[in-house]
Structure 1
């Protein structure tokens, strides 16, 4: 059985289909840009829950609910604070807010139907922490006072992985498992964030609000230096993820995660080749 066709891969695809099925609404899709799914994080969460001995059915419910909440949080990122005071823009802004609330409400209904009351509490607490981190990072960026690299990544990680880490913290069987999966969630999310910024710098030729903006705060820093710093950071974090994956004992889990980190390396190498050819 190849790495790309393990049962886990098929089950994660089913989870993603369930999330889209529960979140699809023609009116929302017509007026609002729906963000892409955090597929890798969902895969990690599913692997974690299965490793803890949770049944496939229950693991799928947890992942579907978490994915719905994440969609709600992500779509709220599209709400503009500054916009033209036209009827069209006002309507789009209101619908974006309502769409995020709609996705979040779907997770609550799903978990309530399954009598997973503790999971509702875990995710609702995580939503509060994610929103607090978003506000801190937004205010720091608005005032051109981004925090230190450590503080930046702490806030960014809370925003990107807060839901998944909350589930890990609540349902890990041992402290060792809790530390390992929390760190793996955070490090893989860092890789995705940094590669995404690098691609945005190259293809859109604009500085995203993120780690690149933090690097540019330093006096005398150029875009070329930022891109080099982004590449170095991405490779460093991929190496760390690969090292962590090698310590996993279940072969299926290790193979699936190894495939995931290989995709990160492929994206970086492809981007480097394009840059070299230009």
Structure 2
């Protein structure tokens, strides 16, 4: 991709703004906590598509469509199993489900209008795979058979299913497929865990994800869970950086390092906050 980091950053900003414009619904936003965009995964998807021969315009279109499906998946995941038995709680639950359905449906018309039939199929396959992995995770939790390794493995598959579906279709070789699949999975794992680390530090919300799983273990404390999460975050950051170093193209390394530099900034900000 013959562009500098700033131009790449602007491309990603345009994708996020396009998604935000398409999901504007005042009533939904009033009652539903809309999840954050999967910005880094979308940045990597745009880069992958453009590197593999897609025009910027087409890579933008497919990235926006993927972001809409991802937002639908993420919104559905915010639906809790138990709500207070009040009219407001029931309305919020129903609206959250409907919002997830609405976000997911937007991609179909968008891609149909552009005659991107193959992209519709790819996203359908990815969406199906994500839900299959969510079912496996749910069953493992219900049967009390969930381990830390199983949780992280399934979580990575859920969070990257849409993007890996494009990699499986358009990667030009097995080595390219392996690189991009690994990069998506390792970066998504980093995003999840650094987010949990931030929530623990600033106590923005109740523990969730791996944090919740670890805190349920006998003898666990918030302090040792934070230490464990921090250690895993640093390990994943190193893995992501080393993956990018394996690339032969210096230009490609530089542009992908834009993503990992953002990760480094988040970690440094957390460490500074802990020292205060």
Give deviations 1:111-153, integer Å, cap 9, x for gaps. Answer: 111111121111112112212222332343455x252333212
1:159, CA displacement in angstroms? 1.7
CA distance in 2, matches of 1:221, 1:91: 36
1:93, CA displacement in angstroms? 1.3
When residues 117 and 199 of structure 1 are mapped into structure 2, their CA distance, relative to the original with a 3 A threshold, is: same
Comparing 78-87 and 155-164, the one that deviates more: 78-87
1:205, CA displacement in angstroms? 7.7
CA distance in 2, matches of 1:249, 1:200: 37
Structure 2 unaligned runs (5+)?
A: none
Contact 1:127/1:162 (<8 A) preserved: yes
CA distance in 1, matches of 2:134, 2:226: 25
Give the alignment's TM-score, normalised by structure 2.
0.91
Give the alignment's TM-score, normalised by structure 1.
0.91
CA distance in 2, matches of 1:201, 1:265: 18
Who is 1:93 aligned against? 93
Who is 1:157 aligned against? 156
When residues 213 and 33 of structure 1 are mapped into structure 2, their CA distance, relative to the original with a 3 A threshold, is: closer
Who is 1:41 aligned against? 41
Who is 2:207 aligned against? 208
CA distance in 2, matches of 1:32, 1:19: 17
Who is 2:67 aligned against? 67
1:33, CA displacement in angstroms? 1.6
Who is 1:107 aligned against? 107
Aligned length: 275
CA distance in 2, matches of 1:108, 1:86: 34
SS at match of 2:220: coil
When residues 148 and 68 of structure 1 are mapped into structure 2, their CA distance, relative to the original with a 3 A threshold, is: same
CA distance in 1, matches of 2:73, 2:204: 26
1:70, CA displacement in angstroms? 0.5
CA distance in 2, matches of 1:61, 1:32: 26
Contact 1:47/1:253 (<8 A) preserved: no
CA distance in 2, matches of 1:158, 1:210: 14
CA distance in 2, matches of 1:166, 1:91: 34
Give deviations 1:87-131, integer Å, cap 9, x for gaps. Answer: 222222111111111111110111111111121111112112212
Note the aligned Cα RMSD (angstroms).
2.1
Who is 2:255 aligned against? 256
Who is 1:178 aligned against? 177
1:231, CA displacement in angstroms? 1.1
Structure 1 unaligned runs (5+)?
A: none
